[in-house]
Structure 1
């Protein structure tokens, strides 16, 4: 059985991976930015770590039915592993990304990113996959290695915690609109 799908060898594999990384990199970065609570540097490191892991097994990954789901799973798991290793209680200060959507209050976006950053890594991952990446409960469960019921429970609890964290800030921000 041929493993490299073509005659390009390692140069062909590298070119194919680079094309994939260039195409999907911006989307992976946006997801990583949300996972890291708006920390640009951590998000860049996270994407780099995930892509390095994917490249190491690109021969197997490139033939997968859903490469994007696999890569997203690697990204989320790398984030969770990174959070486990991090020993300090440091919390990044979120800043809104350049080019915010029209009609979006920048102060509300900052408050939301800061609240999201205060959630535990797994809860943040569930919310990002479910509501940013628009993944189903089943897809999110598969990406994170959880049961669908666990994803639903974490979603509800994390959303309740976000509401609690935003609390008075949300009311004062929307009152000024």
Structure 2
């Protein structure tokens, strides 16, 4: 028997499920682009342990990207994201913030924070140090020294997964895309 659950409740009660679903849908979109335009060059790997600030490793066109994935539903009020500083130690590290339609799960737009293919993550030195969301017994919220806060304005917006794929792996665009 299937129990009807309201959208807001479903998204909050099953947030880890939703996070994995959006990740798989996004990777599926990138694989589809690789299939259609890039001779199936995209390779995808997952870390066994998540302690270096990335969720997935993507490689194509001799460019390896360590990617931290974030997601928000369209219309969400969130305007910033926390980023682990260790991501800047990885080759071509980047953050991709995927927006999705709450009802259809259609993806887009996509927000990208990173550099050109083969270049390191832009410096996080000037970014604000994040604080814990919950205070201690006195209400003090300690800093999280390895986490920085990026504002939405720090990201580049792309309307399609195709544009994200090009930003990840090609400086001048995929030749076969026409």
TM-score range, shorter chain: 0.3 to 0.5
Q: TM-score, normalised by structure 2?
A: 0.33
- Structure ranking higher in helix proportion: 1
- Structure ranking higher in strand proportion: 2
Structure with higher Rg: it is: 1
